[in-house]
Structure 1
Amino acid sequence: MIRVLLADDEAMIRAGVRAVLSASPDIEVVAEAADGREAVDLTLKHRPDVTLLDIRMPRLDGLQAAAELRRTAPDSAVVMLTTFSEDEYITQALSSGVSGFLLKSGDPRELIAGVQAVADGAAFLSPRIAQRVIARLSGGQLSKAATARGRVEELTAREREVLALLGGGLSNAEIAAKLYLVEGTVKAYVSAILSRLSLKNRVQAAILAYEAGLVE
């Protein structure tokens, strides 16, 4: 069972998101928060698998809450669920180490798929958000690609294989099946990759894999 904490300052939105998540038999909403500070406190108390955060909330906004949770509750994946898709918010969210970015205006199936993906150790971006991220990366300078390739060359051949599959959105279990490894070994590879490349999470690793040309 995937345990989820839901944070949004609008009660009606929380009710709607809870209803969508309840349609999946493997997801349980264990707590709700009406502001960012409460979201942090309840995450530390309940230790959910996934914490869903709105961006604009009182006391502590979602971006600030996400950054704090990455420090204090690293085992709980953080997903931004918001109506705002401005590049500034996307950049800040990814820089803070979130595992996913979803839009409230998206298909309800995206919400369920996103929660399931990040709970399984993968990263997940709403298709509309992914398009914007890819567009920004595609418009980057060639020096960025060269820098990314230089960083990736620090890895072993096997680590580059894992990074490429991670960049393709595969979970640890899927990477393990693809490379005929046990899932624990893949988890160790992912941890080593993040550490050696000074990356906060799988989303940043996926972006680096794209910039380095490991993923089309």
Structure 2
Amino acid sequence: MTVAIRVLDELRRCSVPLDDDQLAKRLSVSPRQTINQVCRRLAAEGRLRRFDGPDGKIVNELQLTDGEVLVRELPAGDSTEQRQAEAMVLQLLGERLGLTLRPCNIPLGDGVRAEVDGVDEAFTTLVEVWARHGPPKPAQKHKVLADALKLIHVGRVLRTSPRLILCLCDAEAARHFSTARSWAADALRAFDVEVIVIDVPADVSAAVRAAQLRQVR
């Protein structure tokens, strides 16, 4: 498998754009310049987009095109708009907490790894993000609770006793996991998983709602 295909596959799996250093680390590619050259070529071919990320570093985002062989089948409820919203939510949460949060593939031992949406450099905070408006459907509840279980497990493996956060962008979507009289909300409190709602700009919110409408047609 070529480096270019591996880069596209990694970006396909991830919910947020990645910079060259992150890709090089995830793919164990050295020197880093190899990733830079490959990403620049893929950008020139229109396969990915390179732009300035929230911390000033250039990040890479997969460009989806009609008939694209390497495009993965997204899980139910996933969309480009929602993934972009999740990246913004993570950035805004980081600003609120005074942390730089980035995706991280965390080794858990015995060859097992867990992909976490947002982790700070000192591993004091672990975040999973879900961008959705309105009450979650049963399958979506399971997805969010699976994310919470991942946070709990990774948090117990790490020695930093990290803060565990489920971050959403809509109070109604978060209610089942936070203030509702549900076993899910009760369990999250018992395991010290915080549920935080971050408001996104109106245009981003509208794009997410439009994507949700497309998904049910």
TM-score (normalised: structure 2): 0.29
Structure number having the greater strand percentage: 2
TM-score (normalised: structure 1): 0.29
Structure number having the greater helix percentage: 1
